[in-house]
Structure 1
Amino acid sequence: MIQLLTPTHWKDYELIDCGDFEKLERFGDLILIRPEPQAVWDKALPESEWQKRHHIKFKGRSATAGDWVKKSPKTPDRWHIEYKNPEAAIKFRLGLTSFKHVGIFPEQAVNWDYISSNIKKFKTPNPKVLNLFAYTGGASLIANAAGAETTHVDSIKQVVTWANENQEISGLNNIRWVVEDALKFVKRELKRGKKYNGIILDPPAYGHGPNGEKWKLEDHIKEMMRDVVQLLDPEEHFLILNTYSLGFSSVIIENLVKSAYPQVQNFETGELYLQATAGPKLPLGVFGKFCKIKA
Structure 2
Amino acid sequence: MKEIILSLTPTHWQDYELIDSGGFEKLERFGEFIISRPEPQAIWDRSMTEAEWREKAHAHFAKEKNNPEKGQWKELKKIPHNWQIDYGNPSGLNIKLNLALTSFKHIGLFPEQAVNWDYIQESLSQMPVKNPKVLNLFAYTGAASVAAKAAGAEVTHLDAVKQVVTWSRHNMEASGQSGIRWVVDDAMKYIKREVRRGNKYHGIILDPPAYGRGPDGEKWILEEQINEMLKLCAEILEPEHHFLILNMYSLSFSSIIAANLVKSNFKEINNPEQGELYLEDHFHKKLPLGIFYRFRK
Contact 2:98 2:108 survives alignment (8 Å): yes
1:94 aligns with 2:99: yes
Counterpart in 1 of 2:196? 191
Task: Provide the C-alpha distance between the structure 2 equivalents of 1:155 and 1:49, rounded to a whole number of angstroms.
Answer: 39
Q: How does 1:124-143 map to 2 (within 5 A)?
A: 124-143=129-148
Q: How does 1:39-118 map to 2 (within 5 A)?
A: 39-61=42-64, 62-63=66-67, 64-72=69-77, 74-85=78-89, 86-118=91-123
Residues 77-86 or 39-48, more deviating: 39-48
Task: Provide the C-alpha distance between the structure 2 equivalents of 1:224 and 1:197, rounded to a whole number of angstroms.
Answer: 17
Contact 2:208 2:248 survives alignment (8 Å): yes
Task: Provide the C-alpha distance between the structure 2 equivalents of 1:184 and 1:284, rounded to a whole number of angstroms.
Answer: 28
Q: CA deviation at 1:87?
A: 3.3
Deviation digits for residues 115-162 of structure 1 (CA, Å, limit 9, x no counterpart):
011111110111110000000001000000111110000000011011
Aligned mate of 1:22, from 20, 25, 37:
25
Counterpart in 1 of 2:11? 8
1:205 aligns with 2:194: no
Q: CA deviation at 1:46?
A: 2.5
Counterpart in 1 of 2:272? 267
Task: Provide the C-alpha distance between the structure 2 equivalents of 1:45 and 1:89, rounded to a whole number of angstroms.
Answer: 33
Q: Which runs of 5+ in 1 are unaligned?
A: none
1:122 aligns with 2:127: yes
**What RMSD, in angstroms, separates the aligned Cα atoms of the two structures?**
0.9
Structure 1 counterpart of 2:71, which letter? Answer: G
Q: Which runs of 5+ in 2 are unaligned?
A: none
Counterpart in 1 of 2:286? 281
Task: Provide the C-alpha distance between the structure 2 equivalents of 1:160 and 1:278, rounded to a whole number of angstroms.
Answer: 36
Contact 1:45 1:278 survives alignment (8 Å): no
Q: CA deviation at 1:280?
A: 0.7
Task: Provide the C-alpha distance between the structure 2 equivalents of 1:45 and 1:121, rounded to a whole number of angstroms.
Answer: 44
Structure 1 counterpart of 2:95, which letter? Answer: I
Q: CA deviation at 1:196?
A: 0.6
Give the secondary structure class of the aligned counterpart of 1:58.
strand
1:153 aligns with 2:158: yes
Task: Provide the C-alpha distance between the structure 1 equivalents of 2:143 and 2:86, rounded to a whole number of angstroms.
Answer: 11
Give the secondary structure class of the aligned counterpart of 2:27.
strand
Task: Provide the C-alpha distance between the structure 2 equivalents of 1:278 and 1:173, rounded to a whole number of angstroms.
Answer: 40
Task: Provide the C-alpha distance between the structure 2 equivalents of 1:9 and 1:129, rounded to a whole number of angstroms.
Answer: 24
- TM-score, normalized by length of structure 2? 0.96
Q: CA deviation at 1:279?
A: 1.7
Task: Provide the C-alpha distance between the structure 1 equivalents of 2:241 and 2:272, rounded to a whole number of angstroms.
Answer: 14
> Structure 1 residue runs of 4+, over 4 Å off?
none
Give the secondary structure class of the aligned counterpart of 1:144.
helix
Give the secondary structure class of the aligned counterpart of 1:200.
strand
Contact 1:87 1:146 survives alignment (8 Å): no
Q: CA deviation at 1:229?
A: 1.4
Report the count of equivalent residues: 291
Give the secondary structure class of the aligned counterpart of 1:259.
helix
Structure 2 counterpart of 1:277, which letter? Answer: H
Contact 1:17 1:43 survives alignment (8 Å): yes
Q: CA deviation at 1:48?
A: 2.7
Counterpart in 2 of 1:179? 184
Contact 1:87 1:120 survives alignment (8 Å): no
- TM-score, normalized by length of structure 1? 0.97
Structure 2 counterpart of 1:40, which letter? Answer: I
